[in-house]
A and B are shown apart, each in its own frame.
Chain A
Amino acid sequence: MIRRLLVVLAVLALSVGTATPAMAYEPVNIVHTERVQVGPYGLTVGFSTWPLRAMQSLDFTFIPDGGIDGKSGTFVRTGPSGSHTYPIPLARHPRKRDVWGLDVFALQVQGTWKFTFAIDGPQGHGEGTLSNLQVLAQPGPPLALSWVVCSLPFAGLIAFLVIAWRRSKPQLALA
């Protein structure tokens, strides 16, 4: 048995060793853009997936005209219900360091969203909003079905504990 387990471990170790150099992260592809005027600054908002769907993660890029050097800013996202986030600093995209952006980021609910930007730079402070950002319904099966399928292990665990509980007699022995 030990030998078999060692073989398994060796195979796993080998796959770790060979997997590392093969890994490459996908480039940020922009398939659609929208323009926003943020005070004196023109801003191009890029999307890696279009049209947008609820819960589907994608890359967002925020590219001010003339690049991000010497500029800083924040953005606020407002959902269809009108609830909004605190202003978040515009940060460089992890895989596209020359622009601002968000990676593996999803808008969770269907409806009309707004992105409000504030930018500070050589021409002073500016604010602007990308409104009417339509987010379609989530892809895939209904969420309730996904939750039911994925709750089965938890239900199974509870059933197991209940059966074990009913089959055993309490015999508390505290030494």
Chain B
Amino acid sequence: MRPIGAGFVLLGTGISMIGASWDVQWHIDVGPDTFFTLPHLFIYAGAAIAGIASLVVVLAVTAAQRRGETPDPSDGGVPVRVFGGTFTAPLGYLVAGLGAAAFLLYGLIDLWWHTVYGFDAVLNSPPHVALFTTNSITMIGAVIIAAAAREQRWGRIAMAISVPVLMTFFPITANAFQGVPLPFDTIVAATVLIIVLMLVVTRVAIGRPGAALGTAAALLAMQAILWVFTPWATETYAAAVGLPLRDGLGGEPSLIPAGIPLAGLVAAAAIELLLKRGPALAGGIAGLVLGLTFVLQRDWLGFAPPVTALTLIATTIAGGLFGLLGGYLGARFGAMLRIREKVAA
């Protein structure tokens, strides 16, 4: 049962992420929108799959616990008593389930928002930011579930899928800060923070040399899949519903896959080499590398106005500082994921 429950949560988060990439590109390349588009269905179905799978596992674990079985923390994380012990919920499934439930609730708020403001193409409306956050919470639940089973092969495979999904998705939330006047690129800084943090989390949680590199390689593979799938799905869907692509498209690559740093492997190598000298140092160096290269990447791919020397320097320094924070937090969160307590809930 364990790999199946985890598998459905992973499947749900993966479908949501693919749907999000597709939806963003649909807005950019095609435009017309209703609530009932295929990309929206992917996003919401993904959340529903992850949420229902979490609920089923929580109910199964609660039933088992009532039969007198002791919950196994490798089955989704430390068991948590919910509602005074009415339910026994493995931490990972609890987090994933709450994220999915909140996602569907904010989906209703988003629907209302669109009746007031009309359908929009902005990523940073309040309900959109809430949707990105809640979906990210489900993805964090998936990481906790995967990390709990890290001693098994499927757990490590689940880690190599769930972590890159979170790395791709969570930084989109940083669009909320788009209007804040800061000397550095907030999207780049947020992306650096999440990627460094999760690379260190994975390396520490799995506790094996090469775990960070493997995760960065999986991220690169996910980027390649989205890079091919997103424009294909957008064009195919547009053709299927008889809509043309917009005039004057500049031939840029799709937004979400292009928003994944290409230098993840270099950052992961820095973390692998320097972690024993201190996770904050390792994270800081990785952050400098990612900050510098990611600003240049966004410029090169045409997603930002030509970068000025000042922005480049400020964002590289911000990358270093956010990477330092990511390394520091990542080591502790990674250690937290290693905790294996047999809790008699």
Contact = CB atoms under 8 A, between A and B. Distances in A.
A136 interface: no
Contacts of B126: 143, 146-147, 149-151
Interface string A128-169: 000000000011100100110111111011001100110010
A20 B1 CA distance: 34
Contacts of B99: 153
Interface in B22-45: 27, 30-34, 36-38, 41, 45
Interface residues of A, number: 55
B297 to A, nearest CB: 23
Contacts of B133: 153-154, 157
Residue from the set A2, A89, A94, A171 with the largest chain B CB neighbour count within 10 Å: A94
A95 B30 CA distance: 10
A30 interface: no
A165 B328 CA distance: 12
A15 B247 CA distance: 32
Contacts, number: 154
Interface string A68-106: 000000000000000000000101101101000001111
B187 interface: no
Nearest to B249: A91
Interface string B118-148: 1111100011011001101100100000000
A31 interface: no
Contact of B53 (A5, A16, A95, A105): A5
Interface stretch (B67-75, B225-233, B258-266, B329-337): B329-337
Contact of B45 (A12, A149, A171): A12
Given A12-B48, A25-B32, A57-B119, A150 B336 contact: no
Interface string B157-198: 000000000000000010000000000000000000000000
Residue from the set A16, A22, A23 with the largest chain B CB neighbour count within 10 Å: A23
Interface of B: 1, 4-5, 8, 27, 30-34, 36-38, 41, 45, 48-49, 52-53, 56, 60, 95, 99, 102, 106, 109, 113, 116-122, 126-127, 129-130, 133-134, 136-137, 140, 173, 203-204, 207-209, 240-241, 243-244, 246-248, 275-276, 279, 331-333, 335-336, 338-339
29 contacts: A1-B56, A5-B8, A9-B49, A23-B36, A25-B243, A91-B247, A97-B244, A104-B27, A104-B31, A104-B118, A104-B119, A106-B118, A106-B120, A139-B116, A149-B126, A150-B106, A150-B126, A151-B129, A153-B130, A156-B137, A161-B333, A168-B335, A168-B336, A170-B335, A171-B335, A173-B204, A174-B203, A175-B207, A175-B209
